[in-house]
Amino acid sequence: DIVMTQSPDSLAVSLGERATINCKSSQSVLYSSNNKNGLAWYQQKPGQPPKLLIYWASTRESGVPDRFSGSGSGTDFTLTISSLQAEDVAVYYCQQFYSSYTFGQGTKLEIK
């Protein structure tokens, strides 16, 4: 199974500042067939199901604010929130869908 490891486990960022969350896979999730990475990012707020933010590592889901962006390829990926808003406080998960499906352990994002 592909193991997904996120860092850090938690972080605190000031409003308006940049937040960066990393995700590393134990093996490459790059499809040779379409040169896309089988990697998604989700946001989960308390008491709610997760919400899809990004798939194919960098494709923003419809309706997701453009302050959210995804980057990376192969085994190393990053979710960036360019200017943190109060409503972005949540737990963020990466997920690989290259070989079966596995989630990272989650990163808790708080306001400093």
Partner 1 sequence: QVQLVQSGAEVKEPGASVKVSCKASGYTFTNYYIHWMRQAPGQGLDWMGRMNPSGTSTIYAQKFQGRLTVTREVSTSTDYMELSSLRYDDTAVYYCAREVNVGIGAVNYWGQGTRVTVSS
Determine contact, residues 17/111, Cβ cutoff 8 Å. no
Choices 20-28, 43-51, 67-75, 81-89; region in contact with partner 1 by CB under 8 A = 43-51
Q: Which of residues 83-112 bind partner 1 (CB under 8 A)?
A: 91, 93, 95, 97-98, 100-106
Is the C-alpha dihedral spanning 57, 62, 68, 69 positive or negative?
Answer: positive
Q: Which one-letter DSSP state was computed for residue 87? A: G
Strand-pairing partners, residue 97, are none
> What residues make contact with partner 1 under the rule CB under 8 A?
1, 38, 40, 42, 44, 49-52, 55-56, 61, 91, 93, 95, 97-98, 100-106
